[in-house]
Structure formats: C-alpha cells, structure tokens
Amino acid sequence: MRIEKLGPALQTLCSLLALVAYSANGLAQNEINLDRFQSSVDPVPIQLEGYQGSVLQILSFDLEVMGWEVVPVGKGQYSLIGDNQGGVRGRLVDRLGGGATLFSRQYSSGSVRQQAHALANAVVEQVFRQKGIAHTKIAYKSRASGGFPEIYVSDFDGYRSQTITRDESNVAAPAWVPGQLKLFYTSYKLRNPDIFSHDLKTGRRVAVSRYSGLNTSAAITSDGRRMAMILSKDGSPDLYVSAINGSGLKRLTKTREEEACPCWSPDGSQICFTSAAGGGARLYLIDGNGGTMRRLRAAGASGVYSEPDWSPDGRWIAFTALMGRQFQICVVAAGGGEATVLTQGEDPSWAPNSRNIVFMRKKNGRKILSILDVPTKRVKDVPLIMGNSSQPAWAR
Amino acid sequence: MNNTTFFRVSLFLVLLITVAGCRKKPKSMTPIPGGPGSIVGGSSEPAGLIDFSNGGGSGGAGNGFNSDLGNGASLMGDEFPNGSDVNFSDNNGNGAGGNALPDRNRIAGASEDRETLAAYTVFFDYDRFSIRTEELAKVEAVADFLAAETSAMVKIEGHCDERGTEEYNRSLGERRALSVREVLVRLGIAPDRVTTESWGEDRPAVEGENEGAYRKNRRGEFVILRQ
C-alpha cells in the first residue's frame, strides 16, 4: 500500500535521498506539537509548481488535510516542484532555508492516484516527521435517497468507494479490526440489530453476536483479539466484552440506565464508554477485565457526551458533546482534565497519525463526512460521498 | 366474560400496587378499536427482506443463511472478493434471569401487525426513558389486548429524536423499549411474549429539526407478532 509498491530499487533510492535530506536539514522546527491545539497552529504555506488535473487536486487535498496550506507561487515557505507527465515526480524545496532541495522523487508503479498520495505523504514525513495518512481507508454508513443505509469503504478522501453490505434493512457502527482488512458492524438483516464480522479479503462474514435485543457498537482491541459491545439481552443496554468470535462473554456493567459507544485504549487495558448512570450521559472508564466504572473528567464541555474515540498514540480521547443545540467534537487528555472544543460535528474517529479526525457534520440538511486537522483546526469535507453519510471509522 | 372481568380487575389491582400515585383516573383503560378479538386492519406484512434458506422455524438457529453481496465484481474489486457467507456462531441463548428477552426463534417468521396498536405509541421526554404518567394508559390498553389475544406476542420498537448521537440513541431507544416492556410485565404479561428492537434515530416518525418533530420521534411503537 505504501512505498513498497514502487519497487525495491526505487524504494532504496527514496530512502537514501530521504536520509541525505534529513541529515542536511534541521527539521525539528516544523514539528507540530499537539499540546498546542488549544490555540490553533497556523498551517505551513506550500506552493505547488508544475502539476495539473487530478494530481494537483490530490496533492492539494492531502496536504491541506495534513497541516499545509496551498498558496500561490512566490508565497510558499516550501515549494513542491514537478510534473505528472508519465509518473508523478516531485522535488521539495525549502524556500526559507536557502532554497535547499529536501528530496527529489519519481514514482513509476501504481496508479497515478496512488503516486500522488505517496508524494503527499513524503512531504509530510519529510517536514513534520509524522507518518502520512494519504493511503488510508475509511468505513462509514451511507444512505442514498430512497435507499437503505449500507456500509461502505473508501479511500480516506472518498475515492474508490465500495459497497460492503447489501442488507436492505439497516446498518450501523462500522469498526475496523486494527491492522487488518476486516470490519465489524451492526446489521438489522436478521430482523434484529446483530453484530457481524466481515473479512474484506475473503468476503466471508459471520454473525458474532445475535442475542435477543440490542447487539451493537462493536469495538476491537489493537491486537485484534477482544471485542467490547453493547447488549441488552439481560434487560438493560450494558457493556460486555468477549473474544472476537463472541465466545467468553462477560458483562462489565450492571446499570439500569443505558451504556453506549465503547472504545478501547490502544494497549487494550481500558474501555472508555458512555453511560447515563449518573443522570445525564457522561464518559466513563473501566478496566477491560471488569471492575468499577470511573468517571472521565472533561471539564469545559457540557450536555450529553458520547462517541469517545481513543487516539492511537494513547494520549487523547475525542468525543461528541451536545452543547446547547449544537453537537461539538471535543478532545480531552486520556486521563481526564480540561476538554477542548474543536469543531461542530459528531462521531469523531482518529486517523492512525493521532492528528486527523474524520467526523460527520450536517450541511444543508445532509449528513456529510469531514476531516479535521486537530493542530490547525482546519476542516475539509470528504468529496464524492453521496447521500447521507455518518459513523465514519478510520482504518488504523 | 367472567374470566375477562376477573382479569381486568386483577390487572387493575396489579397496576394500583405498582404505579400507585402515578395515575389521575383509575378507570383510564382505553379500549382497543373494535375490541379484543375483533381486530380490523391487521396488515400482515410478509417477512420480506429476510431470506432464511431453511426457514426460521422452531429450534434451528437459522444456519445456511446466505448474504448475497452480489455478483458485482466491480463493486467488490480485487481487494474485496465476492461470495460472502454468513455463518452463525452458536450464541443465541439468553442470559438467565426472569426478565431476559424471549428466544429469537419464537418470533422468527412471525407476521408483523403495525396497524392495530398504532394509536398506542408511547412518547418520551428528551433523553429520558421513564414512562410519563399520562402515557401509562396506553401501555395498560396494550396489556389488556395481550391478555385477550393470548397467542400474540408484541415487539416494542424504541425510537429517539436526532438530538443524540447515533449509537447513543440506539442504546437509549432500546432502554425506552425495555421500560415499556417492564410495565407490561408488571401488568401480568409473560416476559417471553414481549420483545424489543431499537432503531435509535434511524426511523423518525416525522422529519424536521424542531421540538414538534422531536416530540413525535421520541417513542415506543407496538408491533403485534403472530405466527
């Protein structure tokens, strides 16, 4: 998926070039410090020279999502110079650093789209020293007007979308098995909300939780072995865990009020979830093996809290707060503390870089997917996705 | 007739004990249109959509169900080959306890009648699942109906307005449906005759971003299930 596709020789060349560039330039000055997102960071200006059509479009989208701002020639701190005659080529120049060339690359294999994404990733990795997300995928729920909601998978920028379900009933809550082309989701296909696992390589799917009542909100640990979910079979919607095939079921909460929206800490030791047990819906933590529910303090937010998502680096929990009449995406340190309101929207899902968040927002009465760059607080809508789309899950 | 009277009196006593103080008028049981036993307009929606290849009858856990993800090679592409099979793991059992939900095999293949009890939809306050006092009479009437039509089961569909997130609302909708179920059980209906299904905010009764619409969408609907 990444540079591997470009062939071993080119890969070696790229690594060498990158190595030379790294050692030739002090890069730390452009690293983005996530702690600073309370006061947003300015995007880094870059000019794109020589690109046309879809390659220009892809480079612009990818870079602007990941903390850059594409500016007219002459205004950029950096310049990416190249063309897309044949394979995509690019030379990254640090215009403030005396015009030094940071790297020079040419891509020959893979589609033009993949090549452009690879170049965007290279720019991000070169300057921010963070892994790019231009080759990642998202899963989401979408309903065309007059149709049924189904699960879809697409590239993170909405291209190459594929229908995963054709259940013609209702679906919900897609969740990736980390590191695998495998999804868990809820489908009403069997006249009840049940949890299915779906291997996207083989197409095989299995109903892993089909108890009476509600089976929903599956979340899978980073090691791909355990599942947290919401079941109501014992008389109230509570939090349960099991092996990913549904065996070894264990009930973790026993409240009369509803629990919802579990997510795992990246090390698989804790679950963050929503519970209404304390009156209004708030976020709680519980040990993955069970124990006492502990309230996660998120000062500064208010209203109904739900949809927590733990960042892959383990440091942050993004969530949705209904504040007044508006849904807001918020983020709080995983240990609790002061919450920061980031932008209007619902259902945040972290990218593997722990920097970007895909979320749903209402635009002209329609549910669309958007991508937030947390440090700069810039938001870009995911293009191409039609109908009403929600519940995005970033593959990571 | 004597039996019916006795049953109504019993129901009333149970109700007095369980919801004492909550009711303004003791004699508020709203009759079912046409009365029990003479139901009109009971549409029998075919099971549709669900293609159990070996039926959903008694005992079987419904193996052999095939989800056709279609032969659209272009859709599944090279990364997503065709031919998904759905295999059931064997976990269809219910937890122990008097209030556990009925076994799903009992309702597999049942017809759904959404008309008969349509007027008895229970409405909820925002982000709440308790049954409002003025809504109790509707649940009583449904209990009355179920007491008379002893072979019928009922499904309570829980719904929410859009002022919650999708998965939170899926839990809240289920919690609402379970609250209605608890009242039916307290009124003497056997727990294994009452099932629940949450749709969260996915099936609003009316569209609109205003309190008038929200009020109509926070609801529990009764669907009669008949074999």
DSSP state letter for A57: H
**What's the pLDDT score for residue B91?**
38
- Which of B104, B123, B149 corresponds to the end of one domain? B104
Does residue B186 contact residue B17 with C-beta atoms inside 8 Å? no
Q: Would you call A150 an interface residue with chain B, using a CB distance cutoff of 8 Å?
A: no
Q: With a cut of 70, say whether residue A9 has pLDDT above it.
A: no
> Min CA distance, A207 vs chain B (Å)?
5
Please tell me which residue of chain A has the smallest CA distance to B203. Answer: A170
Give the mutation candidate from A182, A188, A191 for the B interface (greatest B CB count, under 10 A).
A191
Instruction: Map out the domains of chain A as residue ranges.
Output: 3-128, 137-394
Size of interface A-B (CB pairs under 8 A): 206
- A279 in contact with B, Cβ within 8 Å: no
Alpha-helix residue ranges (DSSP H) falling in chain A: 8-24, 53-65, 112-128
Asked if B79's CB is within 8 angstroms of A193's CB, the reply is no
Arithmetic mean of pLDDT, A337-359: 96
Which CATH class, in words, describes the domain spanning A3-128? Answer: alpha beta
Does B62 share its domain with B29? no
Considering only residues B209 and A288, tell me which one the structure prediction assigns the higher pLDDT: A288
Which of A148, A168, A190, A328 to mutate against chain B (most B CBs within 10 Å)? A190
Which residues of chain B neighbour A206 with C-beta distances below 8 Å?
86-89
Q: If you average pLDDT over residues B16-22, what whole number do you get? A: 40
Query: Which amino acid appears at position A390 of this protein?
Result: S
CA dihedral (A180, A141, A357, A91) positive or negative: positive
Shortest distance between the Cα of B88 and any Cα of chain A, in A, equals 5
Residue A364, chain B, CB below 8 Å: the answer is: no
Record: contact B81-A201, CB cut-off 8 A = yes
Concatenate the DSSP letters of all residues of chain B into one string: -HHHHHHHHHHHHHHHHHSTTS-S-TT--PPPTT-TT-------B--TT---TT-S-SS---TT------S-HHHHTTTS-S---EEE-S-----SSTTPPPPGGGTTT-EEE-STTGGG-EE--TT--SPPGGGHHHHHHHHHHHHHSTT-EEEEEEE--SSS-HHHHHHHHHHHHHHHHHHHHHTT--GGGEEEEEEETSS-SS--SSHHHHHHHSEEEEEEEE-
In chain A, what percentage of residues exceed pLDDT 90? Answer: 82
Q: Are residues B211 and B141 in the same domain?
A: yes
- Residue among A141, A204, A261 whose CB faces B84 most closely: A204
User: Is A11 in a helix, a strand, or coil?
Assistant: helix
Residue A86 half-sphere exposure, CB side, CA atoms within 13 Å? Answer: 6
A99 touching B, CB under 8 A?
no
Q: Do A128 and A30 form a contact (C-beta atoms < 8 A)? A: yes
Q: Do B171 and B222 share a domain, yes or no? A: yes
Whether A191 has its CB under 8 Å from any CB of chain B: the answer is: yes
List the beta bridge partners of residue B154: B194, B224
Same domain, B143 and B92: no
Partner B, chain A 197-236, Cβ-Cβ below 8 Å: 198, 200-214, 216-217, 230, 232-236
Residue A58 has pLDDT above 90, yes or no: yes
Cβ B99–A235 below 8 Å, yes or no? yes
Considering the domain architecture, whether residues B22 and B11 belong to the same structural domain is answered as: yes
pLDDT > 50? residue A263: yes
Q: Are strands A337-338 and A298-299 parallel, antiparallel or unpaired?
A: parallel
Q: Report the pLDDT averaged over residues B167-196.
A: 97
Chain B hits for A163, Cβ within 8 Å: 69-70, 72, 75
DSSP assignment letter at A396: -
Considering the entire predicted model, what is its pTM? Answer: 0.80
Q: What is the pLDDT of residues B110-161, one digit of tens each?
A: 999 999 999 999 999 999 999 999 999 999 999 999 999 999 999 999 999 9
| Subunit contact A193:B69, Cβ cutoff 8 A | no
Give A274's pLDDT tier (boundaries 50, 70, 90): very high
Based on the fold, state whether residues B36 and B138 are members of the same structural domain. yes
Residue B80 is nearest to which of A203, A236, A258, comparing CB atoms?
A203
Residue A28: what pLDDT? 34
Could you read off the pLDDT of B47-57 as tens digits, one per residue? 222 222 222 22
How many domains does chain B fold into? 2
A76: nearest Cα among A67, A68, A85, A88: A68
Q: Which of B81, B165, B197 lies closest to A202 in CB terms?
A: B81
A211:B197 CB<8 A: no
CATH code of domain A137-394: 2.120.10.30
Q: Tell me what pLDDT residue A38 has.
A: 54
Residues of A in contact with B80 (CB under 8 A): 153, 162, 164, 200-201, 203
Q: Name the residue among B87, B88, B167 with its Cβ closest to that of A217.
A: B167
Of the three residues B83, B104, B125, the one that is the final residue of a domain is B104
Interstrand relation of B86-88 and A316-323 (parallel, antiparallel or unpaired): unpaired
The H helix count followed by the E strand count for chain A is 3, 31
Nearest to B170 among A209, A216, A346 (CB): A216
Q: Do B131 and B198 fall into the same domain?
A: yes
pLDDT of residue B109: 87
Contact A207 B72 (CB under 8 A): no
Domain span holding position B176: 2-47+110-226
- Place B65 in a pLDDT band, splitting at 50, 70 and 90: very low
Average pLDDT, chain B: 69
- Best of B99, B166, B198, B203 to substitute, by most chain A Cβ atoms within 10 angstroms, is B166
For residues A212-241, give the mean pLDDT.
Answer: 97
Q: What average pLDDT does the segment A170-181 reach?
A: 97
CATH code, B153? 3.30.1330.60
Q: Which of residues 11-30 of A touch B (CB under 8 A)?
A: none
Q: Does A165 touch chain B (CB under 8 A)?
A: yes
Torsion (CA) A342, A344, A348, A351 in degrees, nearest 10 = -60
The whole-number pLDDT of residue A39 equals: 62
Which of the listed residues B104, B121, B142 is the one where a domain comes to its end? B104
Q: Do B168 and A261 touch (CB under 8 A)?
A: yes
Would the CB atoms of B87 and A204 count as touching at under 8 Å? yes
Write the residue in A162, A186, A245 that is nearest to B80 by C-beta. A162
A264-273, A322-331, B22-31 — most confident range? A264-273
Q: Mean pLDDT of all residues in chain A?
A: 90
In this complex, do B101 and A212 lie within 8 Å of one another by their Cβ atoms? yes
Q: What is the pLDDT of residue B18?
A: 43
A259 confidence band (pLDDT: 50, 70, 90): very high
Interval A103-131 mean pLDDT? 95
B80 and B190 part of one domain: no
Q: Residue A370 above 50 pLDDT?
A: yes
Of the listed ranges A211-225, B2-16, B176-190, the one predicted with least confidence: B2-16
pLDDT at A387: 83
Residues B88, B115 share a domain: no
Subunit contact B178:A245, Cβ cutoff 8 A? no
Same-domain status, B100 and B181:
no
Instruction: Closest CB to B104: pick one of A172, A212, A276.
Output: A212
At residue A37, does pLDDT exceed 60? no
Distance CA A135, CA A133 (A): 6
- Contact (CB, 8 A) for B163 and A281: no
Nearest to A210 among B47, B85, B91 (CB): B91
My answer on whether B63 and B168 are in the same domain is no
Give the per-residue pLDDT at B114. 97
CB contact under 8 A, B171 and A201: no
Q: B212 and B190, same structural domain? A: yes
